Structure 1
């Protein structure tokens, strides 16, 4: 099958497929009276899993797949138009789809699903920084990273540190952080990309998002990993060592959380940390409720099996 024909048919299959009943979603996340309601949907470490696992798979039979995820997302957006769809990196690598198309199919299908933003994982450099750059025109969503310095590379000026979205007059600042590539990726793949301390960058970016951009919600797309027993920076340490972050959507460690972890930041305020495994098996959902002063009054979170 010719390449263009395959991509068009794969996209069509994504749009036409259906999934079993998910009516419970509308009641579990029902909006309280006279409050603003923002829904955050998210994935991480999908690793080029376009199709669901086969029925014969020992651990995840029939789970995952872009088509079923599309149906879930469409239903949730119908319930609440004030929804953002985000990804925490490692979009590439893991199935022959990436080996053959080099990331084109992944980005085009994510665009069809209406992703708003994603960050970069270490495996997104597996086809080299030039290969990643070549696929950027296929992504209709923002790719965000604040702690990779891309000067003297083809990505210089192509990757934004953050973006502000507005839903129902609520300003939502989203920024990205990546893991140190040295030791994980061959340097010839990421060239002169320089890693910057994510805690320091997060402090600067969140200060700007809160004070200058006047954001009501601040979300970090992190590909640092959920938790390490050593001193290596992870999502839980990031939350505790910073302020102004309301939600950290994580990746890299393929951690399956049934619901978000609640931890405290450097000022003792709550931060939600979530991660939904890998391969598109789960779709994360977090709902924020804000009062008339745009202050968070409540939140709910769940991991939905696709």
Structure 2
């Protein structure tokens, strides 16, 4: 099944967020397709919501998400699976097992990377450290400095993935913990300015790592009416980010928001609710010759409603 057929057969919100007209010579050298799958704010929701008439009844469930992800991987050659934080807290699974089950299941689903949400500190730094051996994926954090804690040197600010010659730089940003998380749970963790750290990451990933696509895993929140930094402000203030995959505000977006800067750079922002109800999908097409992005399409896949036929 090709990408267009996939979006048609899923019968969910599928919106082309950018259709760029490029000269024929761009296509002549062939293209590389990249599929980004993403989640946020899973909150220990292992099982589907009970199908008892409640809102979101029957939706979600990590086993069904895993099945969908496996089907997509069978159809697409280049897949990255990313998460934007708040994996912990929300069901008795976390109360009893402290995050062990969440990390093990995400590892089985072959997540590539996540960042930290505020609830990921709910069992303190020791609780987080205790569960790290269960996680077979990267934790990316550019604006939490753990140097004076037991988690010193445990995490990287960014990671570069390569798919058929296309380099994808991914970095993570977290929300300010003071006033949101009990001080004893994050200890001497230092919060660094996310705008400055994002600019540092873009410079590193563009100029030194030569990335063709830059993705921010953000747990800042989508939009606030006050001066507090959020994904929209970040996109407006920091040039060079191609995609912000957000969390924290549990925002259900039907399609990514496009933020255009005066220099012509376009940043897409996306977030897919909470509790594993949805799986976000972003399909990027690059010119194999120039490695420039030439198209992107997006879909929201409700877990429990999406059915893919071969």
> Is the pair's TM-score, using the shorter chain for normalization, greater than 0.5?
yes
1:129 equivalenced with 2:114 (yes/no): no
1:229–1:125 Cα change, 3 Å: same
SS of the equivalent of 1:42 reads: strand
Q: Deviations over 1:29-83 (max 9, x none)?
A: 9xx9932100000000000000000110411121000011011101111111200
1:82 to 75, 78, 82: 78
Over residues 160-184 of structure 1, what are the superposed CA-to-partner deviations in whole Å (9 max), with x where a residue is unaligned? 1000001111100000000000011
Aligned residues between the structures: 284
Q: In 1, Cα distance between the equivalents of 2:268 and 2:58?
A: 30
Cα separation, 1, equivalents of 2:260 and 2:185: 37
Per the TM alignment, residue 151 of structure 1 is displaced from its structure 2 partner at its CA by 1.2
Unaligned runs of 5+ in 1: 1-20
Contact 1:242 1:266 in 2 (8 A): no
Aligned to 1:255: 251
Please point out which of 13, 24, 37 is paired with 2:9. Answer: 24
User: Does the CA-based 8 Å contact 2:120-2:128 persist in structure 1?
Assistant: yes
1:153-164 counterparts in 2 under 5 A?
153-164=149-160
Structure 1: 4+ residue segments shifted above 6 A? none
Of 143, 150, 153, the match for 1:147: 143
Counterpart of 1:216 in structure 2 is: 212
Alignment partner of 2:46 out of 43, 50, 55: 50
1:287 aligns with 2:272: no
Are the counterparts in 2 of residues 240 and 266 from structure 1 also a CA contact under 8 Å? Answer: no
Summarize the Cα distance change of 1:265–1:126 in structure 2 as closer, same or farther, 3 Å threshold: farther
Q: Secondary structure at the match of 1:124?
A: helix
Deviations 1:91-128 (A, max 9, x none): 00000000000000000000000000000000000000
2:298 pairs, out of 285, 288, 301, with: 301
Instruction: Compute the TM-score of the two structures, normalised by the length of structure 1.
Output: 0.89
Aligned twin of 1:177: 173
Mapped pair 1:268 → 2:253: no
Aligned to 2:241: 245
Q: List gaps (5 residues or longer) in structure 2.
A: 1-5, 16-26, 304-310
Contact 2:10–2:301, Cα closer than 8 Å, also in 1: no
